[in-house]
Structure 1
Amino acid sequence: MKKLFYHPILFVALTALSCGGQSTNHTANLAGLAPGPGQSAVMDDVSNPNVVQVAVGSPDHSTLVAALKAADYVDALTNVGPFTVFAPTNTAFDALPAGTLDDLVKPENQRQLRDILEYHVLLGVYKPGDFVNGRNLGTADGRSVTVALAEDGTVTINGAKIVGTVSASNGIIHVVDQVLIPK
């Protein structure tokens, strides 16, 4: 049996020949390129919408979309996931104490706003039937929320009532009637 050997010069020569005689320097080709705008810049009118695209298409979630943009959290939620998102309605944001949202969307409060938004996100897909009374679910910010089931079947997350559910290509959205605020 013949032994195979690796010779660096022979390897470079064979690589150059296999590339049509032109050497390639991938590092040099990438030098000076700025990072792209991210996953949210991908335009696709054929695939099922992701969680952000669903929110953008909902007139009841324009405040949530504005908050996602202010927190620079859009690209994170357009990725593959899967995610479970508790999406407060505009009315839920309106119920916050006066000035709260205006203060949170200021650039100097971006991290605090992102923490609040991450508190509305679970990694994985939790469908309505997956919610168990008293179960704590870990959020994307490292905290947890608690599920409560009423006798009539109503599901609440930290007291916020789930009023609707929408599937997305990268997860599921549960529309809630309150903004979840971490303690």
Structure 2
Amino acid sequence: MKATFKIFLLTVLIVGITACRNNNGEGEEENVSTSTEQASTERQGQAFVKDDVSEPTVLDIAIQSEDHKTLVAAVQAAELENALVNAGPLMVFAPTDEAFAALPEGTVEDLLKPENKNKLSHILKHHVTPGKYDKEFLKKFKKLGQASDLNVPVEVKGEDVYVGGAKIIASVPAGNGIVHVVDKVIIPEN
């Protein structure tokens, strides 16, 4: 009886597999090709994984801000999204749209061109420091080492803190660091 039952299950399994192959034969190839096309057009990496549980990353905070559309466009053009969602901790000095608008006319448009991706990336990395220090703690520093491999001076004027000449006007903690909103784009000297 057990042998008969095993043969019956094996037969049902074989018939089921055969039926699935016959019904999906052509469609399966089409679906595989469509999936491959979608995968090649979608951006990949940790920055593109959706998560409703974790604290927002420094990138999430910038994306959600109404005042950082230019910064987000620049990060996307430089393809640095994945770097801004890593474990960190990271301090991002995030220039507002107003700060980008204060640059000489045509500067932002020129930097967003694909041929200027490396230059844009270098400038954006000049706005990132390892660590998670609040504004008060930053007052203890004379300079910070940026992800651009360059240093920026830290100056204290009264209660205000300036990093690379940019004034910190707000700070937002993130799951992987902190975003310090600044009033100026920090352009590397080199």
Q: Distance in 2 between matches of 1:168 and 1:84?
A: 9
Count of paired positions: 151
Does residue 66 (structure 1) correspond to residue 103 (structure 2)? The answer is no
Query: How far, CA to CA, are the matches of 1:134 and 1:144 in structure 2?
Result: 12
One-letter code of the match for 1:106? Answer: K
In structure 2, the residue matched to 1:175 is: 181
**TM-aligned CA deviation for residue 132 of structure 1:** 2.9
CA RMSD in angstroms comes to 1.9
Shift of the alpha carbon at 1:86? 0.1
Deviation per CA, 1:12-65: give whole Å up to 9, x if none.
xxxxxxxxxxxxxxxxxxxxx98x810011101121100000000000001100
Q: Is the 8 A contact 2:139 2:161 kept in 1?
A: no
What residue number does 1:159 align with? 165
The change in CA–CA distance for 1:134 and 1:39 in structure 2 (over 3 A counts) is: closer
Q: Is the 8 A contact 1:56 1:62 kept in 2?
A: yes
Residue 126 (1) aligns with residue 170 (2): no
Look up the match of 2:19. none
Between Structure 1 and Structure 2, the one with more helix by share is: 2
User: Equivalent residue for 1:99?
Assistant: 106
Q: Name the CA shift for 1:107/1:128 in 2 (closer, same or farther; >3 Å).
A: same
Deviations 1:74-119 (A, max 9, x none): 1111111110000000000000000001010111100000000000
Tell me the amino acid that sits aligned with residue 162 of structure 1: I
SS at match of 1:60: coil
Letter aligned with residue 168 of structure 2: I
TM-score normalized by the length of structure 2: 0.75
Contact kept? 1:133, 1:149, Cα under 8 Å: no
TM-score, length-normalised on structure 1? 0.78
> Which stretch of the first structure deviates more once superposed, 163-172 or 127-136?
127-136
Structure 1 position 144 matched with structure 2 position 151: yes
* Structure whose CA Rg is larger: 2
Identity of aligned residues (%): 48
> Displaced runs of 4+ in structure 1, greater than 6 A?
none
Q: Which runs of 5+ in 2 are unaligned?
A: 1-38
Contact 1:136 1:144 in 2 (8 A): yes
Classify 1:114/1:138 alpha carbon distance in 2 versus 1 (closer, same or farther; 3 Å). same
Corresponding position of 1:37: 44
